[in-house]
Amino acid sequence: MYELLSPAGDLEKLKTAFLFGADAVYCGGPSLQLRAQSAGMPMEDLEYGIEYAHKMGKRVYVTVNSFAHNGDFAELPGYLRDLRSIGADGIIVSDLGVVALAARTVPELPIHVSTQANCLNYESANVYHKMGAKRIVLGRELSLEEIREIRDRTPPELELEAFVHGAMCMAYSGRCLISAFLTGRDANRGDCAQACRWKYRLVEEKRPGEYFPIAQEEGGTTILSSKDLKTLSFIDRIKDAGITSFKIEGRMKSAYYVATVTNAYRHAIDKTAPIEILEREVRSVSHRDFSSGFYFGELKDAPASGEHYTQDCEFIAVVISRRGNIIQVEQRNRFFKGDELEVLSPNSLGESFVVTGMRDEAGNEVTSAPHPQQKLYLECPLNLSPGDILRRRRRN
């Protein structure tokens, strides 16, 4: 009934998301997707990823969510037919014209109206439904009460999706012009420079040339940079409001991020782990200060304090295979004999072990793993599986 929807910027992240409990992923293709080009998969990767997902009983939604210009419509029908032919389970669309074109051209391909369309009321939701939309990804500016009213006043077959975790754009439903104004890179065409994350100073009208820093704490503050959304502690209230698809932001984030956050929300939705442990999990990956967003009314704590991301753990290695008490791993950050490593696994929470011995591929004993993506053999008493992740907790 409930769907956990994770980001997949490439095939590694797609596979990671499914391994750690996602029911579906969303990803970009080669055209009209609102992220940097590196987050858009070529058609052959999309086709492989969709086939991989379907073998697991999972789903793949493709973003076609740029705001289209006239010139985009010449090739768009063919692109939509290609997405249909490779088996996409739906397309995520923000532009009204693209919604109409998709409904005419590929009526059997489910349309999900993007959060970029800023659908904030039941009247708009019903209009999109009449145009052929199967799902509305609601605007992030809605409270739980508003979501509940939308659910009550729309057809039950119209699915509602909402973001539950990740970075939040400072602009209204992500419609930002700062990047385009300062750099010429249009955020609404998938080329955001993230200018809201930069540090700024004030200039007073009668004091030209005098720049005043904006300070909130000792480390300063980026006044346009929103806190990250986190809803672990009230996921049940989002369910009760009528949301059935819980979306994690982060197509540009690492596979380690996707694994950690997906795993935490899988446990939260299924009620299979204490909330205190899951809160600790999401702090293990890179994040800004957290916020509950607009779910309880107006956003009162938007600016993130300081200029840096924080994370409590460092991504160390991925498990490749296991034989007896020996695991083969691929290194992602340097580690040493004697380190205590925590395990991130869909099969367990809170396990750790000390590296008592390790060898390189030639069988030589080594005391450290300094080389990127170096393959090593570690002594490990735990029953680990391929795809499990090893991390090292940072000490204060």
- CATH superfamily of the domain spanning 3-171+226-295: Aldolase class I (3.20.20.70)
Pick the CATH number of 313-393 from 3.40.50.300, 3.55.50.30, 2.40.30.10, 3.60.15.10: 2.40.30.10
Q: What is the pLDDT of residue 356?
A: 97
Q: How far apart are CA 372 and CA 365, in angstroms?
A: 18
Angle (deg, nearest 10), helices 11-19 and 255-270: 30
Helices then strands (H, E): number in the chain?
A: 10, 23
Alpha helices in 211-292 (DSSP H): 235-241, 255-270, 275-282
Q: How far apart are CA 396 and CA 393, in angstroms?
A: 10
For the chain, the structural domain boundaries read 3-171+226-295, 313-393
DSSP character at residue 269: H
Residue 342 structure tokens:
């925590």
Helix (H, G, I), strand (E, B) or coil at 111: strand
CB 179 within 8 A of CB 186: yes
Cβ partners under 8 Å of residue 354, min gap 6: 338, 339, 340, 341
Q: How far apart are CA 340 and CA 393, in angstroms?
A: 8
pTM given for the model: 0.87
Q: What is the pLDDT of residue 288?
A: 85
**Other beta carbons less than 10 A from residue 56's beta carbon:** 11
Q: How far apart are CA 9 and CA 11, in angstroms?
A: 7
Alpha helices in the chain (DSSP H): 11-19, 43-55, 76-85, 96-105, 122-131, 144-152, 178-183, 235-241, 255-270, 275-282
Q: How far apart are CA 383 and CA 347, in angstroms?
A: 10
DSSP lists the bridge partners of residue 7 as 26
**What DSSP letter does each residue of 200-212 carry, written as one string?**
-EEE-TTSTT-EE
CB 316 within 8 A of CB 390: yes
Residue 42 structure tokens:
């070529």
**Other beta carbons less than 10 A from residue 305's beta carbon:** 17
Residue 114 structure tokens:
């993007």
Per-residue model confidence as pLDDT tens for the chain (396 residues): 899 999 999 999 999 999 999 999 999 998 886 555 566 899 999 999 999 999 999 999 999 988 889 999 999 999 999 999 999 999 999 999 999 999 999 999 999 999 989 999 999 999 999 999 999 999 999 999 999 999 999 999 999 999 999 988 766 556 666 666 677 776 665 567 677 667 766 777 777 777 766 555 444 445 566 789 999 999 999 999 999 999 999 988 999 999 999 999 999 999 999 999 999 999 999 998 899 999 998 776 555 554 467 899 999 999 999 999 999 999 999 999 999 999 999 999 999 999 999 999 999 999 999 999 999 999 999 999 999 999 999 875
